[in-house]
């Protein structure tokens, strides 16, 4: 019996791009592709990708159970909300039932984020932190995040791994980073990451750095991010048993760039369009952080989480195990900054 697959978050930036790339990926045979949607319009939209829409509440245990068990769903790619782990826990319980009923292998992918492997979440940043590090689970277990919000996301990663092990489910912790480029889905086509830089600059009429030193952060073009989801799906469907559980971390990144370089490239694009007057980057003081927080809709101490930080998380696993090769270099985000800013401003909805 071949797999029934469910994708959640199909109307989002990452999930929509994944659905859009599905057909041309020529994946190995599976039985059915389902997409979780929340409106009749979304239900109609996902059909163009060959997906059967399912409307249910991902935060209601009995609804998740019915959707997963009644449809014998054995592969879930979860692309909504990296924290807390409420929805994930319902999916895992239901998938354990599918495993029991069918005796087949079942797979759950949890989409987290590079932030959960950064200074914001208490991860080590004194050297490269490889996604293939055999001690990564222990590292994550030991992390003490400076923000409760971030600790919930760390705990969600650990929960998914431990709970999956308990049920014999193969779990994957998929970490997108600063994803950029125009989304290809039917819903949201803008990344939540680069938009924060533009939004803060729009409020402040200037781009501010929020860190001392010259921290870097991993980056990835949306097409490369999509291709990693696809390559992982390919291995699962072909029964090749890709690394999972405590060895199932996958960072989708082509490399890293310095925040300062990203700010500078985006500031040039913002100045060109009259959003800011001075493209020089300056360090934010407490007053600036307060104002930026208001503009971003978050408390001042959280601004640095939205706009900066130290992350040495390094992609190694997918290239070695899945043969994943990003098409774009990390520096491409700097060359593309003008187009990214232009697209964000044309579609801004804050």
Ligand X SMILES: NC(=O)c1ccc[n+]([C@@H]2O[C@H](COP(=O)([O-])OP(=O)(O)OC[C@H]3O[C@@H](n4cnc5c(N)ncnc54)[C@H](OP(=O)(O)O)[C@@H]3O)[C@@H](O)[C@H]2O)c1
Of the two residues 10 and 255, which places its CB atom closer to ligand X in the complex?
10
CA neighbor of 169 nearest in space, from 95, 103, 111: 95
Of the two residues 82 and 122, which places its CB atom closer to ligand X in the complex?
82
246 φ, ψ (degrees, to nearest 5): -70, -10
Contact segment (CB under 6 A) with ligand X among 76-84, 274-282, 302-310, 341-349 equals: 76-84
Distance CA 242, CA 233 (A): 9
Contact segment (CB under 6 A) with ligand X among 20-28, 189-197, 243-251, 322-330 equals: 189-197
Contact segment (CB under 6 A) with ligand X among 9-17, 196-204, 300-308, 320-328 equals: 9-17
In the complex, least distance from residue 214 CB atom to ligand X, rounded to whole angstroms:
22
Strand 208-209, strand 282-283: pairing: parallel
Residue 157 interacting with ligand X (CB under 6 A): no
Of the two residues 192 and 281, which places its CB atom closer to ligand X in the complex?
192
Distance CA 157, CA 238 (A): 25
Distance CA 131, CA 318 (A): 9
What x/- string results for residues 78 through 107 when contact with ligand X is judged by CB under 6 A?
-xxxx-------------------------
Residue 243 interacting with ligand X (CB under 6 A): no
Contact segment (CB under 6 A) with ligand X among 75-83, 95-103, 122-130, 163-171 equals: 75-83
- Dihedral sign computed on CA atoms, order 127, 133, 139, 141: positive
Other C-beta atoms lying within 10 Å of the C-beta of residue 128: 12
Q: How far is CA 242 from each of CA 30, 108, 229, 287, 321, rounded to the nearest angstrom? A: 17, 12, 12, 48, 7
Single residue of 187, 218, 243, 326 touching ligand X by CB under 6 A: 187
Single residue of 6, 7, 14, 337 touching ligand X by CB under 6 A: 14
Residue 181 interacting with ligand X (CB under 6 A): no
Of the two residues 132 and 225, which places its CB atom closer to ligand X in the complex?
225
CA neighbor of 269 nearest in space, from 190, 342, 195: 342
Distance CA 82, CA 348 (A): 24
Q: Which residues lie near ligand X (CB under 6 A)?
A: 8-15, 38, 58-59, 79-82, 111, 113, 176, 179, 187-188, 191-193
């Amino acid at each position: 019996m071949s797999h029934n697959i469910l994708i959640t978050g199909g109307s989002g930036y990452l999930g929509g791009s994944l659905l859009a790339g599905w057909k041309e990926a020529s994946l190995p045979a599976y039985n059915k592709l389902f997409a979780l949607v929340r409106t009749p319009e979304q239900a109609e939209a996902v059909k163009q990708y060959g997906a059967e829409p399912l409307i249910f509440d991902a935060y209601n245990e009995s609804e998740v159970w019915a959707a997963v068990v009644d449809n014998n769903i054995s592969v879930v790619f979860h692309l909504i909300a990296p924290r807390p782990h409420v929805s994930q826990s319902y999916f895992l319980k239901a998938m354990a039932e599918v495993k029991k009923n069918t005796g087949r292998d079942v797979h759950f992918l949890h989409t987290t984020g590079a932030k959960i492997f950064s200074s914001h979440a208490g991860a080590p940043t004194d050297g490269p932190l490889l996604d293939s590090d055999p001690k990564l689970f222990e590292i994550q277990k030991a992390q003490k995040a400076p923000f409760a919000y971030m600790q919930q996301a760390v705990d969600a990663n650990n929960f998914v791994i431990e709970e999956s092990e308990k049920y014999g489910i193969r779990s994957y912790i998929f970490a997108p980073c600063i994803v950029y480029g125009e989304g290809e889905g039917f819903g949201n086509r803008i990344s939540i990451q680069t938009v924060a830089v533009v939004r803060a600059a729009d409020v402040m009429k200037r781009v501010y750095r929020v860190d001392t030193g010259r921290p870097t952060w991993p980056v990835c073009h949306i097409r490369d991010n999509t291709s990693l989801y696809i390559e992982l799906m390919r291995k699962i469907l072909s029964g090749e048993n890709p690394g999972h559980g405590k060895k199932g971390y996958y960072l989708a990144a082509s490399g890293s760039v310095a925040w300062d370089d990203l700010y500078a490239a985006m500031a040039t694009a913002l100045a060109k369009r009259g959003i800011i007057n001075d493209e020089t980057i300056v360090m934010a003081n407490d007053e600036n952080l307060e104002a930026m927080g208001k503009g971003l809709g978050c408390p001042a101490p959280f601004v640095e989480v939205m706009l900066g930080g130290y992350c040495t998380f390094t992609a190694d696993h997918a290239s070695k195990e899945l043969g994943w090769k990003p098409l774009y270099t990390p520096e491409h985000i700097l060359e593309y900054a003008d187009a990214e800013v232009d697209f964000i401003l044309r579609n801004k909805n804050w």
